[in-house]
Chains A and B, each alone.
Chain A
Amino acid sequence: MSIATPSAVETFTVTLIIRRFDPEIDTEPRWQDFDVEMLPTDRVLDALHKIKWEQDGSLTFRRSCAHGICGSDAMRINGRNRLACKTLIKDLDITQPIYVEAIKGLPLEKDLVVDMEPFFQSYREVQPFLIANSKPKEGKERAQSPEQRARYDDTTKCILCAACTSSCPVFWTDGQYFGPAAIVNAHRFIFDSRDESNVRLDVLADREGVWRCRTTFNCSEACPRGIQVTQAIAEVKQAILRGRGA
């Protein structure tokens, strides 16, 4: 008895050109190409897996969830910052090779892995947690209306992938700049009605704070979560001028 085989799924071959760097061997990064057989449902992350598992085990990159939620695998794909796990290969121009490299502006460690520490340092400096000194009413919870919650909804979606910060030309030339991601996460609390601190406004009024933003909109275009990053930065600028957030 024969079992009906599903009609063969069409596969295609793509070339990936990956910017490799092994600090123990290379003095300069080098480009290496790989041909991989892919399905229409495959993403750039699947291509990287295939290369690592079948062709070159030394290829190094970060990923955890593989479903666009952990923020580990932001990389520069065909010159644009995206998550490898959210980029379908068939959506790119597959007649051309696909260029993959690490995000820019952060120290390159190996292949597609960069040192994220400067990025998280800025994140920590904006104190991204609720600061409230008063006692909650009736000693229980800090109530918030749906409107108050909606005020900062957009900036709660950040997954700290660094696609925005590493797409910013200001950040490329001035690594001291806090960068869009830190400002997004400051915005998250500045406009939270329950938060009672102005410390983030002080931090971001600094030389390397929001005024470094030149509204190039690269961050808004890069964000895989669709956050209106430049909008959030503009709102923080205004909050600083007013001297208060929510």
Chain B
Amino acid sequence: MWSWVLHRITGVAIYFFLLVHLLDTALIRVSPEAYNAVIGTYKNPIMGIGELGLVGAILFHALNGLRIILIDFWQLGTKYHRAMFYVVIGVWLVLMIGFTPRHLINVFSEGAV
């Protein structure tokens, strides 16, 4: 149940990001200056934290997606769905622990420049 709820929430969040991302990328066709102006506003710590959330959401969605594929196609998938969920959380934690400090250093050192 909770894996499904999280999958939904991250899925919807990623969808809205893609929507915005498509729009801001499309701006480059309008004018490169406008594009630069918009992208420039992304360079602040709040957006930095948002990026962290985005990476977290995408990672969870991707890993849990693999788990769902296994549930559907691997014979023992339904038997080990719970164990696989813990593996997903575990791998997600490891990756996030690796990514978060690096990313935050980037975000905040750029903010200082």
Contact = CB atoms under 8 A, between A and B. Distances in A.
A234 B77 CA distance: 9
Contact of A216 (B1, B72, B73, B79): B1
Contacts of A237: 72
B1 A217 contact: yes
B73 A217 contact: no
A231 interface: yes
B10 to A, nearest CB: 14
A157 B33 CA distance: 68
Nearest to A167: B1
Contacts, number: 30
A59 B68 CA distance: 43
Contact of B4 (A216, A234, A238): A216
Contacts of B78: 215, 217, 220, 228, 230-231, 234
Interface in A148-177: 169
Interface residues of A, number: 13
Nearest to A170: B4
A81 interface: no
A216 B67 CA distance: 12
A218 interface: yes
A215 B69 CA distance: 10
Interface in B23-73: 68, 71-73
B68 A238 contact: no
Interface string A208-246: 000000111110100000001011001001100000000
A218 B72 contact: no
A214 B4 contact: yes
B81 interface: yes
Nearest to A228: B78
A238 B79 CA distance: 16
A10 to B, nearest CB: 36
A196 to B, nearest CB: 25
B1 A234 contact: no
Nearest to A218: B1
15 contacts: A169-B1, A169-B4, A215-B4, A216-B1, A217-B1, A217-B78, A217-B81, A218-B1, A231-B78, A231-B79, A234-B71, A234-B77, A237-B72, A238-B72, A238-B73
The 6 closest A-B pairs by CB, nearest first: A231-B78, A216-B4, A215-B71, A216-B1, A230-B78, A234-B78
Given A169-B4, A217-B78, 20 more contacts: A169-B1, A215-B68, A215-B72, A215-B81, A216-B1, A216-B3, A216-B4, A217-B1, A217-B81, A218-B1, A220-B78, A228-B78, A230-B71, A230-B78, A230-B81, A231-B78, A231-B79, A234-B71, A234-B77, A234-B78
Interface of A: 169, 214-218, 220, 228, 230-231, 234, 237-238
